[in-house]
Homo-oligomer: A and B are copies of this chain.
Amino acid sequence: MATVALTLFPAGRTLQVDPGVTILAAAHAAGVDIEATCGGRGRCTSCRVKFAAGIVPPPTIMDELQLGDALVREGYRLSCQCRVTDPITVHASPPVDDQSFQILGAERPSLPVRIDAGVTKTLVHVSLPTEEHHQTSDLEALLAVVGGTPSDCAPDVVRTLPQALREHGGEATVASFGSRILSVEPGDTHLLAFGLAVDVGTTSVVTSLMELASGEQLASVSSLNPQAVFGGDLMSRIAFAQFDAGNLRKLQTRIIGLLNQHIEQVCRDSGVLAKWIYKVAIVGNTCMHHMLLGIDPSYVGLAPYAPVMRHPLTLAARELYLKVNPEARVCLLPIVAGFVGADAVGVALATRMDESSEIRIAVDIGTNGEVLLGSREHLWACSAPAGPALEGAQIRHGMRAALGAIDRVSFDGRDLTLHTIGEAAAQGICGSGLIDAIAVLLDAGVIDWTGLIDLDHLDRLPLALAARVIKRGDERAVILARPGEHGATQELLLTQDDVRQVQLCKGAIASGAAMLQRIAGVPEDKVAELMLAGGFGNYLSIASAIRIGLIPAVPESKVRYVGNAALLGAQLALLSETERQHAEQIARRIEHVSLAAHPDFQDVFVDCMNFPRP
């Protein structure tokens, strides 16, 4: 695999490093000193670097925790967490910008996110009654040490007491959440406390295992949502569940089954036992939320699209049959409206939009994406049902961003140039490749502004490119790869239908952003920052996204990848009860804009379906 250039200041050295190595490891290997007080575990800020050139990668949760959102937005990262994938230039241990600390200081005292997961584990020694005339019980003996009342201890925990209090002669570790006793474990296990952050998307589900005391991510896993066999988009999934308890149960069982597979896997990967997982924070859109809870989403799919519940819900893991500690607190973030769910709240929480003095836009790209716009003055949100095209579904040779996916497409003046993930043999095309391909073909004049693959002006094209534009029967298409090209074993096409699917998708997102801008009265030049969220967002070419009109035409420098911000929001809620409570305030502050009900929407949507004219 090719090496990547990493330029380090103040040393002024450029290193050729293997992709995937952390900046800290690369620097140390080359003898460049970067201080790492915590030993490179993401527990301090000493190894921070500031990006001077190159694509700034999405922050990790450790970046957010240690550096705070303000520094993160200015391009600071922890070099121990940040892996080199593209050519970059960074300053090691830069002086912290005074102003940013002022902003930080004004809005959040000391560290921006203090770990405060709400779960405590305490080693206790319980004296069990030895004489018969003592009128007491195991539970009372425990409460005499840890305090609280019998109702703080669920019957499931009471059941474990006889053994837990005797196995190590009364030495036991009590896990609690507030006053509630979650678990009583024989012996000393007080260092073992973990949690899960989960993003249940319409198409993808991501689970992240974290150590609650340090905030360190120990493992993570991502899969397709297995409900997809019952419908790729929300509406078809709602139709499947509609008024049919059996089908609803199937959907619920599928997603819970998947989460339990995830739990098994992250536990296996990390060596953590599932019983040590005491808290789970979950985000997801309203439908995913309802289906996970087994709540009939029928009316979410019918005007006025009211959710059945919106409040932040905390329940015991056993109530959801999640195979972590049965008493673990499962916290679902709150919901704003039928199509602006807990995932949007997670994005707002992670991006600190509600604390921003300037207007920012967050676009969460996903099958059921959302657009948020606003500042600390006001927050608006709308749904942006992009559909699964950018995740490779409903595209002739579409695939997820996996090995062999065409993820970048460019034009060298003569012909298309492709890049595949892992530089493996081309298997299909993923979302970033689709957007690149369409941007390139728009520029080349192969696709016109209405989205039509233009067969009438092939003579203006270089021969190699012109040879790729075909019509078979009634179908227009562009041949991305012929058998043998880039290792492809079959012809890989971008069809006219594929272009239409992308148009629908980008139309949904672009019209959402356009409508919010219109309602809030915010033209492009008033937008201080455009944040691309969603696992997918990371790999997107910003230039291409602007070229096809997926995102508003702001200067590229104002666009920032924020990674899977919904998941990041769940991670914040997992690690900090303060953040979790803040999510509730955010949910109450967000004003939901119902696009379909707006008189301008049809025009805006039709307009946004088209591509921007050059």
Asked whether any CB of chain B lies closer than 8 Å to the CB of A150, the reply is: yes
> Residue-by-residue, is A137-151 near B (CB-CB < 8 Å gives 1, otherwise 0)?
111100000000011
Docked complex Cα distance between A313 and B309 (Å):
29
Beta-carbon contacts under 8 Å, A448-472 to B: none
A135: chain B residues at CB < 8 Å are 310, 336-337, 591-592
Q: Tell me if A21 counts as interface (CB < 8 A to partner B).
A: no
Are B133 and A309 in contact (CB-based, < 8 A)?
A: no
Chain A, 303-329, CB within 8 A of any chain B CB = 303-311, 313, 315, 319
Among residues 131 to 179 in chain A, which have CB atoms less than 8 Å away from a CB atom of chain B?
131-140, 150-151, 155, 158-159, 161-163, 166
Tell me which of A290-298, A347-355, A495-503 binds B: A290-298
In the complex, are the beta carbons of B133 and A307 less than 8 A apart? no
A159 to B138: give the CA distance in the assembly, Å: 36
Answer yes or no: A99 CB below 8 A from chain B CBs. Answer: no
- Tell whether, in the assembled complex, residue B137 and residue A307 are in contact, meaning their CB atoms are under 8 Å apart: yes
Most B CB contacts (10 A, CB to CB) among A132, A136, A295 go to A132
Quick check: B155 and A293 within 8 Å, CB to CB?
yes
In the assembled complex, the CB of A535 is this many whole angstroms from the nearest CB of chain B, namely 28
Docked-complex contact B304 and A139, CB < 8 angstroms: no
Point out the residues of chain B lying under 8 angstroms from A161, CB to CB: 308-309
Contact between B319 and A592, CB atoms less than 8 A apart: no
**Contact call A310/B594, Cβ cutoff below 8 A:** no
Residues of B near A134 (CB, < 8 A) are 304, 306
Contact check, A137 vs B304: say whether CB atoms are below 8 A apart: no
Which residues in B have their C-beta under 8 angstroms from that of A557?
none
| Structural contact, A306 and B138, CB atoms closer than 8 A | yes
Q: Is A128 an interface residue (CB 8 A)?
A: yes
A309 touches B129 (CB 8 A): no
Q: Is the CB of B137 within 8 A of A310?
A: yes
Most buried by B among A134, A162, A295, A597: A162
Residue of B nearest to A138 (CB): B308
A229 within 8 A of B: no
Q: A138-B309, A308-B138 are in contact. Are A162 and B296 (CB under 8 A)?
A: yes
Q: Are B597 and A310 in contact (CB under 8 A)?
A: no
Inter-chain CA distance A294–B159, complex, in Å, is: 7
Nearest B residue to A296 via CB reads B162
Q: Is the CB of B597 within 8 A of A150?
A: no
- Contact present for B295 and A158 (CB under 8 Å): yes
Determine whether A106 belongs to the interface, using a CB cutoff of 8 Å to chain B.
no
Within 111-139 of A, Cβ neighbours of B (below 8 Å) are at 128-139
Identify the closest chain B residue to A294 (Cβ): B159
Q: Which residue of B lies closest to A309 (CB)?
A: B139
- Whether A299 sits at the interface, judged by CB under 8 Å, is yes
Q: Are A132 and B310 in contact (CB under 8 A)?
A: no
Known: A594-B132, A596-B132. A137 touches B305 (CB 8 A): no
Copies of this protein in the complex? 2
Contact of A140 among B138, B140, B294, B310 (CB under 8 A): B310
Interface pair A137/B306, CB less than 8 Å apart: yes
Specify which chain B residues have a CB less than 8 angstroms from the CB of A132 in the assembled complex.
303-305, 594, 596-597
Q: Give A297's nearest chain B residue, CB to CB.
A: B162
Interface string of A255-268 (1 = CB under 8 A from B): 00000000000000
Chain B residues positioned under 8 Å from A163 (CB to CB): 296
Q: Which residues of B contact A129 (CB under 8 A)?
A: 304, 306
B136 touches A306 (CB 8 A): yes
What chain B residues lie within 8 Å of A309 (beta carbons)? 137-140, 150, 158, 161
Closest to A337 in B: B135
Cα distance A158–B134 when bound, in Å? 44
In the bound complex, residues from chain B placing their C-beta under 8 Å from that of A158 are 293, 295, 308-309
Shortest Cβ distance from residue A165 to the other chain B in the assembled complex, whole angstroms: 9
Q: Residue A138 contacts which of B133, B166, B307 (CB distance < 8 angstroms)?
A: B307
Give min CB distance, A50 to chain B, whole Å: 40
Closest to A140 in B: B310
CB contacts (< 8 Å) of A311 on chain B: these are: 139-140, 150-151
Q: Which residue of B lies closest to A128 (CB)?
A: B306
Q: Give the distance to chain B from A514, nearest Cβ to Cβ, in Å.
A: 19
The 7 closest A-B pairs by CB, nearest first: A150-B311, A132-B304, A132-B594, A139-B309, A137-B310, A137-B307, A138-B308
14 pairs of residues in contact across A and B, judged by CB atoms under 8 Å: A129-B306, A132-B594, A134-B304, A135-B310, A136-B306, A137-B306, A138-B306, A138-B307, A139-B308, A139-B311, A140-B309, A155-B313, A158-B308, A162-B295
**What is A's interface to B at a CB cutoff of 8 Å?**
128-140, 150-151, 155, 158-159, 161-163, 166, 293-296, 298-299, 303-311, 313, 315, 319, 335-337, 591-592, 594, 596-597
**Besides the contacts A131-B304, A155-B295, what 19 more A-B pairs have beta carbons closer than 8 Å?**
A132-B597, A133-B597, A135-B310, A137-B307, A137-B310, A137-B335, A138-B299, A138-B306, A138-B308, A139-B311, A140-B309, A155-B313, A155-B319, A158-B295, A159-B293, A159-B308, A161-B309, A163-B296, A166-B299
